Amino acid sequence: MKKHGVLNRDISIALSKLGHTDRIVVADCGLPIPDHVTCVDLSLKPGVPNFLDVLSVMLQEMAVEKFTLAEEIKVKNQPLQEALWRQEIPVDYVTHEKFKKLTNEAKVIIRTGENTPYANVILHAGVIFS
C-alpha cells in the first residue's frame, strides 16, 4: 500500500503521465465535464471534499507553472480568488465560457464537492528543473 502522496489511484496515474504544459482541472460540483475527458469524481456531498483541500494536495504533488481562472471569480468568489493568489502562481483569466471550452484540453478533471461559484482552476504543469 502506498504510504505518501495521493492515495487515489486515478489521480496518481494522471499525475505520473503529465508533461510540461499538460493541464489538470480541479472543479466544483457544477462544472460540466466534457464526455471525452477523464473525470475523477471525489464529490461526496455538498462541500465535501472542498476545493481548497483538493487543490492543496495537487500543489504538493505537481509542478504548476500557471493557473487559469474564470474572470467571474473576481466578483462572485473573492475569498477563493484571494486564497489562490496566496499560492504565488501566475494567473491567467478568461471568461467562464472560454474556461469551459479549455476544459476540453485537460488530461483529467477532478470534481470536488465544492458548491461555491466559480471554484474551478486549470493547473498548467510545469517542470521540476530549470
pLDDT of residue 120: 98
Any domain includes 93: yes
The whole-angstrom separation of Cα 58 and Cα 84 is: 13
Over its length of 130 residues, how does the chain's per-residue pLDDT go in tens digits?
888 899 999 999 999 999 999 999 999 999 999 999 999 999 999 999 999 999 999 999 999 999 999 999 999 999 999 999 999 999 999 999 999 999 999 999 999 999 999 999 999 999 999 7
Any domain includes 61: yes
Which residues have CB under 8 Å from 63's CB, separation 6+?
125, 126, 127, 128
pLDDT of residue 3: 86
The whole-angstrom separation of Cα 43 and Cα 105 is: 22
Number of folded domains that form the chain: 1
Q: Which residues contribute to the annotated binding site for substrate?
A: 28, 96, 118-120
pTM listed for this prediction: 0.96
- Summary count for the chain: helices (H), strands (E): 5, 6
Any domain includes 97: yes
Residue 20 annotated to the active site: yes
Any domain includes 41: yes
Any domain includes 4: no
Any domain includes 57: yes
pLDDT of residue 44: 98
Q: Catalytic: which of 4, 20, 36, 124? A: 20
pLDDT of residue 2: 84
37 is in which domain, residue-wise?
A: 22-125
The CATH number assigned to the domain holding 42 equals 3.40.1650.10
C-alpha grid cell for residue 27?
Answer: 472543479
What's the sign of the alpha-carbon dihedral 125, 18, 116, 31? positive
Any domain includes 67: yes
Any domain includes 87: yes
